[in-house]
Amino acid sequence: MRGFGFFLAFVASLPFIFVTPFNGVMIWYVFSLGNFHTLIWGGPFASLNYAYVIAILTCLSWAFSRTDKKQLPITPLVALTLLFSIWITFTSWFALAPSEDVWTKWITVQKILFMCLVGYALTTTRERLNQLIWVVALTIGLWGVKGALWSILHGGSEIHGPDGGMLADNNDFGLGLILILPLLFYQRQLATNRHVRRALLWMGFLVTLAIVFTYSRGALVGVCAMGAVFWLRSRAKFTTGLLIAAVAICIYGFAPEQWFKRMSTIETYQDDGSAMSRLHLWQISLRIAQLHPVTGGGFRVTFWPTVTNNMLRGTDLERLAKPRATHSIYFDALSEHGWVGLFLFVTIFLYSWANCSWLVRRSRDRPDLAWANLLGRMGQAVLVGYATAGTFASQAYLDEYWCIIFIFDAARRMVSKEIAPTGEFRTVRSTSHPVPA
């Protein structure tokens, strides 16, 4: 019954895709990020490829749309993403893992990148930009609220994300929740309805608690780093400081003893098997890059111990006994796609940071662009959270992250058009914008 109800809701959403293809983008992210189909406990409706159906219908709607241009703006981020897409295709031909496993992962990553580009092309107005931010923040935020309430009711027990999704693991779930916190604050600052503002404040509080109750040490480091930038870049420093203090007091007063024991191992990581295994996997990634500096080992290389252990001959590195992830966005890119892949991945991140800085700089002292200034500052907090918490999570291809960085690029494109008549920038017809000095 639960599965049938979910399927009816899915079918009922499909006609909206043909009203405008951008509706298809939002629906795709709801299903892709939310993984709400995991709430179906078995049955034929639990295994349907909902996201594929939505993606195909969205492309068809865009092809037949008379109002949306069939053009992908070629910005530096788009060009870098296309290069990254081409490069991971190239490395997949030389991958060391079994081809079936490699190309299955390739399809998943390419689908994420493709829909990011489609969504970027269709995010042409500030209204659409705001709608997409709402979709990302609320879709994942609901899981955070659910997890926080469940943990509180069970005495601070450990929580994780939706089963079967990219955020299923507790470390990955913590990372995903970190990325939406600044976006929730962004929407709260722009909201005019006091009930919406209050609801978003409570959601942000509960999401922060959920991050803590993932018991992820990487997420704790990430949320602290993100919180520092969040406070520094926020103009509402008093309100933000009160929220941070309230969360800290709640954690100190209500977190169970096992949580404090878990977090205390950050200082004594040498004695913790989980932390040392990460360092070991990072050394293995460097070994793979040493032997295959250009192409790396290809997708899923460390998930096949027999393949990986062959490359460890002649070293004192301990052999893998079972499939393992690298537990780092950087070593994900390095071990699977070589130094070129890592370079492209880091360059995309740095350009996204440049986009946020550009938004802050170009919208300063412009009341009509206050939203862009706020988005740029909150965007920097998002990126710091991803860069730090992502150091300990294998989420280089996280769909949430790729969606958010294209939101920043779409905002820059809109602001460029608004300030173009001043003569400081290229004309509105230009499909690209200048790289900040």
| Residue 211 pLDDT > 70 | yes
Q: pLDDT at residue 382 above 70? A: yes
pLDDT for res 234: 73
- Of residues 227 and 148, more confidently modeled: 148
The CB-side HSE value for 17 (13 A sphere, CA atoms) comes to: 24
Least confident range from 103-112, 153-162, 267-276: namely 267-276
19 has pLDDT over 50: yes
Band of residue 268 on the pLDDT scale cut at 50, 70, 90 = low
Tell me, rounded to whole angstroms, the distance of Cα 380 from its chain centroid: 14
Given pLDDT bands bounded at 50, 70 and 90, which one contains residue 407?
Answer: very high
User: What integer pLDDT is reported at residue 259 of this predicted model?
Assistant: 78
Its pTM stands at 0.90
Predicted pLDDT at 429: 42
* pLDDT tens string 51-93: 889 999 999 999 999 889 888 999 999 999 999 999 999 999 9
The answer, yes or no, to whether residue 228 has pLDDT greater than 90, is no
**pLDDT at residue 243, rounded to an integer:** 74
How much is the pLDDT for 270? 52
Q: Which helix (DSSP H) or strand (DSSP E) does residue 105 occupy?
A: helix 99-122
pLDDT of residue 421: 58
pLDDT tens per residue across span 423-432? 343 433 434 4
CA distance 20 to 15: 10
Chain position carrying tokens 């920097």: 380
pLDDT > 90? residue 272: no
Decide if 308 contacts 369 (C-beta within 8 A): no
**Cα(320)–Cα(308) distance, integer angstroms:** 8
% of the chain at pLDDT higher than 70: 90
d(CA 413, CA 123): 10
CB 215 within 8 A of CB 156: no
Q: What was the pLDDT predicted at 436?
A: 42
Quote the pLDDT of residue 422.
47
Average pLDDT of the residues in 408-437 = 63
Lowest mean pLDDT among 193-207, 214-228, 402-416: 214-228
The whole-number pLDDT of residue 37 equals 72
Task: Give the pLDDT band (50/70/90) at residue 41.
Answer: low
Please determine, for residue 434, whether its predicted confidence score (pLDDT) is greater than 70. Answer: no
What is the average pLDDT across 399-420? Answer: 93
Tell me the helix, strand and coil percentages in the chain, rounded to 5: 75, 0, 25
Residue with the larger pLDDT of the pair 220 and 406: 406
Higher pLDDT, 429 or 277: 277
Residues 282-337 pLDDT 10s: 999 999 999 999 999 999 999 999 999 999 988 888 999 899 999 999 999 999 99
**φ, ψ for residue 96 (rounded to 5)?**
-90, -25
| Per-residue pLDDT, 250 | 76
